[in-house]
Amino acid sequence: MSSTQIQSVSASAVAVDKMVFRKTDTQLGRTISVTPRNSTNKQLSYGRIRLNAQVSSVEFHNGHEETGFLCLSGEATVKVSGKNIAIEKYDTIYIPRGSAISVGTASAVDIAEFSAPVDGEYPLQVVRYADLEKDPGLKFSAGQGTGASRHLHMCCAKNVNAGRVVFGFTYSDPGNWTSWPPHEHAELLEEMYVYFNMPAPAFGLQLVYNNTEYPELIVPVREGDAVLMPSGYHPNVSIPGHRICFIWAMAAHREVVDRKFGVVNVQPGFDKGGSGLEKGASK
């Protein structure tokens, strides 16, 4: 193997190492798995808060970063700068920068945490899943009858006044593709997927590519895995008999200006019928 080939292989290994994070949901307490310091992300950080009778509370300060919580299971009370907020499955909280935060539970809870640095001040906001699921612009389905049937939930998007962070979750019908047709939005937003609610033996395949002949990434994904998309198209597919389920989390490069969901470039050749994201697109 030539020195050029060795350098190319090494560079690819480093890139993959900073794009794929396994088993991010296994630790009790508060664990931050992805930050701009250990990944390809430039803005977005991701962590997990898992509490039970063994570890029932955590406290921290978010400093210069805005923070979003998505409750994946269980119940908790979140205290933000003196205000108590009870949350349950699929509820969302947006927390302003400069906040003292504590989370506690009397049972068990699993919360996905996303954050990004901001200069602006945005208000504390709570999105109840019970309200979200009644809004056809925040919960909708796409791709019916095409092998790409999936169901989207806009937890912190056009419904939340924020600086950079955007997130929600999608699950497919068994054996179907999501993020289809393939699209990209790297000029506006960096993105990552966090897989959850995919009990074994379920798994999927995640692609990230700018050129289909030389994809940057083709990797199996399972519950607890996180995959970053610094650039390129990023479709994925579930195996037959099982669905794929993931949080999509993004951070705008330019605060507020680039915080736009659904503004995407669809891969040429697959761009005849729209992106499938129109119902959730930012105004």
CATH, residue 225: 2.60.120.10
Strands in 204-208's sheet, in edge-to-edge order, are: 177-178, 236-238, 204-208, 217-221
The number of folded domains in the chain is 1
For residues 70 and 91, give the distance between their C-alpha atoms in angstroms, rounded to a whole number: 6
Q: pLDDT tens across 144-199, in order? A: 888 999 999 999 999 999 999 999 999 999 999 999 999 999 999 999 999 999 99
CA–CA separation, 238 vs 129, rounded Å? Answer: 25
pLDDT of residue 4: 39
**Cα–Cα distance measured from residue 111 to residue 159, given in angstroms and rounded to the nearest whole number:** 20
Please state the rounded mean pLDDT for residues 87-112: 98
Rg (C-alpha) for the chain, rounded Å, is 18
Q: What is the pLDDT of residues 13-71, one digit of tens each?
A: 445 679 999 999 999 999 999 999 999 999 999 999 999 999 999 999 999 999 999 99
pLDDT of residue 59: 97
Q: What is the pLDDT of residue 14?
A: 41
Residue 256 has pLDDT above 60, yes or no: yes
Asked whether the CA dihedral 239, 243, 245, 250 is positive or negative, the reply is: positive
Going by the DSSP 8-state scheme, the letter that residue 233 receives in this structure is: B
Strands 92-95 and 65-74: antiparallel
Strand partners, 95: 67
Strand 265-266 and strand 183-184: the pairing is antiparallel
Residue-level pLDDT at 273: 77
Q: 143, 150 in Cβ contact below 8 A?
A: yes
pLDDT of residue 13: 41
Is residue 193 situated within a structural domain? yes
Q: Which residue has the tokens 């669905």?
A: 243
In a domain, residue 283? The reply is no
Q: Is residue 225 part of a domain?
A: yes
- Four-CA torsion 113, 116, 118, 122, nearest 10 degrees: -30
Q: Does residue 282 belong to any structural domain of this protein?
A: no
Confidence (pLDDT) at 282 = 75
Answer whether 208's CB lies under 8 Å from 226's CB: no
Q: Is residue 222 part of a domain?
A: yes
Evaluate if pTM is beyond 0.85. Answer: yes
Least confident range from 151-155, 236-240, 274-278: namely 274-278
Burial label for 205, CB within 10 Å (0-12, 13-18, 19+), is middle
204-237 residue pLDDT tens: 999 999 999 999 999 999 999 999 999 999 999 9
What is the residue range of 113's domain? 3-277
Q: What is the pLDDT of residue 7?
A: 39
Q: Is 262 left (phi over 0), alpha (psi -120 to 50) or beta?
A: left
